[in-house]
Amino acid sequence: MPISSLKRLMLCLAAPFGLVLAADAHAQQVEGIAAIVNDQPITTYEVRDRMRFILTTSGIQPTEDVLVQVQEQAMRSLVEETLQLQTARRFEVPITEEEVDEAIADIAARNNVTVDEIQADLENAGSSIDTMRQQLRAEIAWSYLVSGRYRSRIRVSDAQIEGALERLAESASQTQYRVAEIMVNLPSSGDETDAERRITTIYRALEQGAPFPAVAEQMSDAPTAASGGDAGWLSSAQLRPQIAQVVQQMPVGSISNPIRVPGGYMIVALADRREGQVTEQFTLQQVTLVTSQVTPERRQALERAAGRVQGCSNVQAAFESVPQAIITDIGTVGANALVPNIRTALSGLQNGQASSVLETAAGLQVFIVCERRLGGPGFPGSAEIENQIVNQQLSLLARRWLRDLRNDATVEMVGDF
């Protein structure tokens, strides 16, 4: 964009709201074409409207440097949304206005405002709720397309889930960080100049007080953009090494400088930290032969019975040959609540297996593991882990598909602002 045109746009964005709206109402009749995507035009009015929308929803102040980046972001978003909606029409994916209305109502509810207040804020900023509707329409259509094309092809094995749980278990006792992220990807050409400008502009906007979630939602290239950059609770082992090194030194509530990572640049915000709260949980049954009832013969019978155990459903039958044996359902208990010798005896057991015969203060005891799992605040179960893996794969496939659509499309940039 020429500097003179950029200054005119800044004046337009900074003008009194009534004049902006009036000017745009007239401008729509004489608008030029900013780009053509597979013979479908994107007007200069649409680009300016999207720019105002980005500035309004992100809270970024419209300096000259910011406007250059916001224009590029607006063009990038409009081109991608056009491709997504064209693909939806090709596959006859219907998107109703009721679905868009529900999405806007959900956004309003999450932000404790009304839909009318959102519309008024956008109009006061010289934008329109129509640009929000267009963005949401494309998001909904793309979600349907990606799910319909790939969801049935994704298979998550028990081994993948167990592997993910094991990796999570390894880091469960480490300090965990609640982080949000903004990612700027390098272009396919590998030229870092544009990415450096984008991340610098974003960082300056954050320094000036723009809300991190709003900026992430509009400007980040990461899959977490849809959730305001929120990446959830992560341990150092789950973070990129370059990010982990920085986050460990950050105070809660702070924002990092731009960090060079493979594939681009990142800015992270540290919302909170906590010590690892996940512990191993055992669901147990206990067989006790009290001290007064112990004989050499009964000890041998107890050992033989422990070797016959094949799960918690046959405990009674397995130990019926041990006179005076008392079977107790202990329920679920954390490993940290068990005395050391019992915890050690259980450490190598799988579900359904029995420990060796232990000498305790109560007499001779055998412990049967009905279930062992990790548990604690926020620790996911197998179903949640499976859903996370599916979503990660869908996100990767969606990015590849959109990249292929962009590469195969005929996109001509023709507008001059």
Task: Give the confidence band of 173 by pLDDT, cuts at 50, 70, 90.
Answer: low
On whether residue 36 sits in a domain, the answer given is yes
Neighbouring-strand partners of residue 281:
334, 373
**Cα gap 143→133, rounded to integer Å:** 15
User: Residue 40 belongs to what H/E stretch?
Assistant: strand 40-43
Distance of CA 138 to the CA centre of its chain: 20
Give the CATH number for residue 339. Answer: 3.10.50.40
In this structure, of 8-17, 154-163, 197-206, 286-295, the range with the lowest mean pLDDT score is: 8-17
Q: 168 lies in a domain?
A: no
Tokens of 246: 């920085």
pLDDT of the residue at 93: 92
pLDDT for the residue 285: 94
* pLDDT value at residue 397: 94
Domain extent, residue 225, equals 174-277
* Residue 381 domain flag: no
Domain count, the chain: 3
On whether the CB atoms of residues 234 and 167 are closer than 8 A, the answer is: no
pLDDT by residue (tens digit) across 8-25? 333 333 333 333 333 444
Task: Look up the CATH number of the domain holding residue 140.
Answer: 1.10.4030.10
Q: Mean pLDDT of all residues in the chain? A: 86
Q: Are residues 131 and 16 in the same domain?
A: yes
Predicted pLDDT of residue 254: 96
Measured distance CA(187)–CA(184) in Å, rounded: 9
Which residues face 270 on adjacent strands?
Answer: 179
Please tell me the distance from the alpha carbon of residue 47 to that of residue 138, in angstroms, as a whole number.
Answer: 16
More confident: 174 or 117: 117
Work out the pLDDT band at 86, boundaries 50, 70, 90.
very high
Q: What is the pLDDT of residue 31?
A: 67
Paired residues of 235 in beta bridges: 176
Q: Are 247 and 238 in contact (CB under 8 A)?
A: no
Average pLDDT over residues 342-365: 91
For residue 366, list its beta bridge partners.
287
Those residues with Cβ within 8 angstroms of residue 388's Cβ, 6 or more apart along the chain or in another chain: 164, 380
Question: Residue 13 in contact with residue 55, Cβ under 8 Å?
Answer: yes
- 139 and 234 together in one domain: no
pLDDT in tens, 241-263: 999 999 999 999 999 999 999 99
Same domain, yes or no: 17 and 123: yes
3-state helix, strand, coil in the chain (%, to 5): 55, 20, 25
Distance CA 98, CA 71 (A): 30
Question: Mind listing the pLDDT tens digit for each residue in 33-67?
Answer: 999 999 999 999 999 999 999 998 888 888 888 89
Q: Which of 78, 1, 93, 2 is nearest to 41 (CA)?
A: 78
d(CA 293, CA 356): 18
Residue 386 has pLDDT above 70, yes or no: yes
CA distance 244 to 177: 9
Q: Give the domain-ending residue among 239, 260, 277.
A: 277
Sheet arrangement for strand 230-235: 230-235, 176-185, 264-274, 259-261
Q: Residue 232, Cβ neighbours under 10 Å: how many? A: 15
Does residue 384 lie in a domain region? no
Neighbours of 407 (CB within 10 A): 9
Distance CA 5, CA 39 (A): 26
pLDDT at 377: 58
Helix (H) or strand (E) holding 359: strand 358-360
Flag whether 401 is in a domain.
Answer: no
In this prediction, residue 388 carries a pLDDT of 85
Residues 272 and 283 in one domain: no
Is residue 218 a contact partner of residue 58, using CB atoms and an 8 Å limit? yes
Residue 85 lies in a domain: yes
Residue 290 covered by a domain: yes
| pLDDT tens digits, one per residue of 201-231 | 999 999 999 999 999 999 999 989 988 999 9
State yes or no: pLDDT of 198 exceeds 90: yes
Contact of 408 with 87, CB cutoff 8 Å: no
Both tokens of 315, joined, read 């405990």
Q: Which pLDDT band, with edges at 50, 70 and 90, does 305 fall under?
A: very high
Half-sphere exposure (CA, 13 Å, Cβ side) for 242?
Answer: 13
Residue with tokens 């009721």: 98
The verdict on 80 and 193 lying in the same domain is no
Three-class SS of residue 350? coil
Token pair recorded at residue 355: 């420990």
Q: Is residue 335 part of a domain?
A: yes
Q: How many CA atoms lie within 13 A of 304 on its CB side?
A: 10
Whether residues 272 and 290 share a domain: the answer is no
Q: Check whether residue 250 and residue 288 sit in a common domain.
A: no
Query: In this predicted structure, what is the pLDDT of residue 235?
Result: 83
Q: Quick one: pLDDT at residue 88?
A: 95
Listed residues 277, 305, 338: the one ending a domain: 277
Q: Backbone dihedral region of 16: left (phi > 0), alpha (psi from -120 to 50 degrees) or beta?
A: beta
* The pTM of the whole model exceeds 0.85: no
Both 311 and 256 in one domain: the answer is: no
Same domain for 138 and 31: yes
Together in a domain, 21 and 103: yes
Point out the least confidently predicted range of 175-184, 306-315, 380-389: 380-389
Both tokens assigned to 202: 């974003």
Shared-domain flag, residues 21 and 44:
yes
First to last CA, the chain: 7
In this structure, the answer to whether residues 240 and 327 fall within a common structural domain is no
